[in-house]
Amino acid sequence: MSECMNFTEGEFYQEHFDSRAYAKNFYSCPRGHPDEKDFLTLILRCLSRVFSTGEHRGQRLIDVGSGPSIHSVLSAFEYYDEIVLSDFADNNRRELEKWLKNQEGCLDWKPILQRVCELDGKSPSDLEASLKQRVKNVLKCDVRLENPFYPHTLEPADCVITSLCLEAACKDIQTYRRALHGLTKLLRPGGLLVMVGVLGETFYKVDEQPFSCLKLNRYDIEEALRGLGLSIHEFNILPADDQRNKSVSDFEAVFLLVARKPSD
């Protein structure tokens, strides 16, 4: 997109990303942004299907690149004792901390919680409080680093989730592969990687501020994961509606994949 002449990496997010506008535009209702035709609903449904059976569980779950949002972990957190949320931008981490502490003016996730409970067949009454009890840290992360949480070294996780992060953070396929390698190193042997992302996207907007995106295809992602020794258990692709308004983003499809690190 001509408005994004240079790739908008982490430092650009730190200065220009409006966390509250992003939450309002994309997460104020379960359908997501009105110009993206049930984009968020698709993501929530996919995550529910992966986690709500309780098949995947363990001690620690790390959400890499949470933004200001908790949507990625809502179907998963009950099956893990410890949750780590993370983001590069200070504003995003501040919003997560405000929500955790029930501070005045914190973001309201009740509409999204309600929708996830409907999908998972659960009651929303205690879900939010239970999640807050399990969130042990909100940490700065930079997926461009070999250790995304440097200078911290985290205990290996049973599950790593990342949603709509790597394609926004990585300016080229080489950086993307290195980022995937870093995520893999966060996992214990046999650990689960769950990724939600977009194919074919070059930009998205928060209000009128454009952010660039690495244009990916399925082959790029599969080749990178297999090169790291991960086995891909699922790779689900949901094409975008060709009739939708592309003023806010130009993604061609949403994907969810489930991969596993080899056991020692």
pLDDT given at position 110: 87
pLDDT given at position 2: 40
248 is in an annotated binding site: no
Chain position carrying tokens 């042990």: 136
84 is in an annotated binding site: no
Residues of the chain with pLDDT under 50: 1-4
80 is in an annotated binding site: no
pLDDT given at position 123: 73
Question: Cα separations (Å) of 153 from 40, 146, 157?
Answer: 32, 11, 11
13 is in an annotated binding site: no
Question: Cα separations (Å) of 211 from 2, 27, 98, 100, 128?
Answer: 11, 17, 25, 27, 30
What beta strand segments (E) does the chain contain? 58-64, 80-87, 135-140, 157-163, 187-199, 203-206, 209-212, 231-239, 253-260
22 is in an annotated binding site: yes
Q: 231 and 166 in contact (C-beta within 8 Å)?
A: no
Which pTM was predicted? Answer: 0.94
Measure the CA–CA gap between 203 and 21, rounded to whole angstroms: 17
pLDDT given at position 56: 95
66 is in an annotated binding site: yes
Q: What is the largest CA-CA distance in the chain?
A: 48
pLDDT given at position 246: 76
Condensed to tens digits (0 to 9), the pLDDT of residues 148-164 reads 999 999 999 999 999 99
Domain ranges of the chain: 10-260
| CA-based nearest residue to 76, from 194, 207, 220 | 194
Chain position carrying tokens 């009105």: 34
158 is in an annotated binding site: no
Angle between helices 39-51 and 110-120 (to 10 degrees): 50
Six token digits for residue 242:
């060709």
User: Does domain 10-260 correspond to CATH entry 3.40.640.10?
Assistant: no
Q: 85 and 96 in contact (C-beta within 8 Å)?
A: yes
Tell me phi and psi for residue 263, to 5 degrees: -75, 150
143 is in an annotated binding site: yes
